[in-house]
Amino acid sequence: MYEFMNTDQKQYHHKESNKPHAHHTGGGDTVSQDKGTGLLGDANAKTKEIKILRKVLDVNDEIARQNRKIFAEKGVFVINVMSSPGSGKTTILEKTLAHISPSARCAVIVGDICTSNDADRLSGFGAPVVQVNTDAFGGDCHLAAHVIKTAVDNFDLDQIDLLIIENLGNLVCPAEFDMGEHLKIVVLSVTEGEDKPLKYPLMFRVCHAALLNKIDLLPHLDYDRKAAVQNIRKVNPKIKVFEISSKTEEGFDSWIKWLTQRYQG
C-alpha cells in the first residue's frame, strides 16, 4: 500500500515494510533478520520462511509478467538501473536524459528509502517523475513489480517511449526482483573494489550492461581497471561493459548509442 504525498513529484511511501525482511543470498536461500527463525532458529521455521519467501518471489514474477504485457501493448521500453549507494547512478541518469530526451519521450520512477532528492534532480529534464519512498518501519531495500505497477498508473503510457527505473542503492536484493523491465543495468564506480562483481555475482549475472563509472578519478586511485572489467566478464561473459565518466561524459557516446539502439530496435 502506498500513500500519495502532495509534492512536485508523485511520491509514495511503502506501508508493507513492517513485516520481517529477508535478504537473499542469490542462490535461492534466505537469511532472516527475525532472530526467532532463520539460520540460528528452529529448522522447521526456517523451512517455512523459505517457502513463504519463494511464494513472494513467485507472486512478484506474476505481477512482472503483467507489467511486461502492459509495456508491450503500450510500446514502452523499460530499463532498471541498479548500483550500490554513491556510484554516481543519478548523475548518469541526468546526463542520459539530457542526451536522449530530445528524441525520446521519457519518464522516471525513483526508489529511495527517504527524501526526494534524486527525483528533484531528474525532474529538470522535461520527463515526468514518480518518487517511491520505502521509509515506513525502516524501509525496503529494493523496488518490486507491484511498486512499479502502482507507480505507472501516474503516467500516460501512450505518451512514453522510455521508462527509466532508478532502483535503491543496493547490490543484493534488487537483482532478484523482476519488474517487467527489458534491460537491467548495473553501475560500478572505480571508488569501489575491483572484486565487487565476484562478491555480488547475481547482480552482474542478471544485468545486460555494466557502467564502470568515475573513470576520471583513475589517475588519483590505486585501481586496476582491467581487473574490474575482467571480473565483470568472469561473472557474465555476455554483459556489455561501458567505461564512462558521469562528470566529464567520457565514454558516454557509446553508452547512449547502445541504449538508443535497444529502445528503438
Q: Read off the pLDDT of residues 17-73 as tens digits, 9 standing for 90 and up.
A: 434 444 443 333 333 334 343 434 565 665 655 565 566 678 999 999 999 999 999
Asked if the model's pLDDT at residue 119 lies above 90, the reply is yes
Asked if the model's pLDDT at residue 149 lies above 90, the reply is yes
Asked if the model's pLDDT at residue 172 lies above 50, the reply is yes
> CA–CA separation, 110 vs 120, rounded Å?
10
The pLDDT of residue 208 is: 98
Cβ-count burial 232-241 (b if 16+ within 10 Å, e if not): beebbeebbb
Residue 40 falls within a domain, yes or no?
no
Answer for the pair 9, 131: CB distance below 8 angstroms, yes or no. yes
Range 72-84 average pLDDT: 98
Residue 136 falls within a domain, yes or no?
yes
Name the grid cell of 73: 501493448
Residue 187 falls within a domain, yes or no?
yes
Residue 205 falls within a domain, yes or no?
yes
- For the whole model, what pTM was predicted? 0.82
Asked if the model's pLDDT at residue 12 lies above 70, the reply is no
| Window from 14-23, 127-136, 194-203 with minimum mean pLDDT | 14-23
- Averaged pLDDT score across all residues of the chain: 85
Answer for the pair 198, 167: CB distance below 8 angstroms, yes or no. no
- Per-residue pLDDT band for 141 (boundaries 50, 70, 90) equals confident
Range 152-165 average pLDDT: 97
More confident residue, 103 or 18: 103
- Per-residue pLDDT band for 236 (boundaries 50, 70, 90) equals very high
Residue 123 falls within a domain, yes or no?
yes
Asked if the model's pLDDT at residue 124 lies above 80, the reply is yes
How many independent structural domains does the chain possess? 1
Nearest to 114 by CA among 89, 140, 93: 140
Residues contacting residue 50 through CB under 8 Å, at least 6 positions apart = 29, 30
The pLDDT of residue 24 is: 45
> CA–CA separation, 34 vs 22, rounded Å?
8
Pairing state of beta strands 30-32 and 22-24?
Answer: antiparallel
Domain hosting 116: range is 2-15+75-264
Asked if the model's pLDDT at residue 151 lies above 80, the reply is yes
Residue 64 falls within a domain, yes or no?
no
The pLDDT of residue 142 is: 85
The pLDDT of residue 11 is: 52
The pLDDT of residue 18 is: 39
> CA–CA separation, 30 vs 122, rounded Å?
34
Residue 130 falls within a domain, yes or no?
yes
Residues contacting residue 137 through CB under 8 Å, at least 6 positions apart = 17, 18
Asked if the model's pLDDT at residue 184 lies above 90, the reply is yes
Range 159-166 average pLDDT: 98
Range 185-197 average pLDDT: 97
Residue 70 falls within a domain, yes or no?
no
CATH number reported for the structural domain that contains residue 244 in this entry: 3.40.50.300
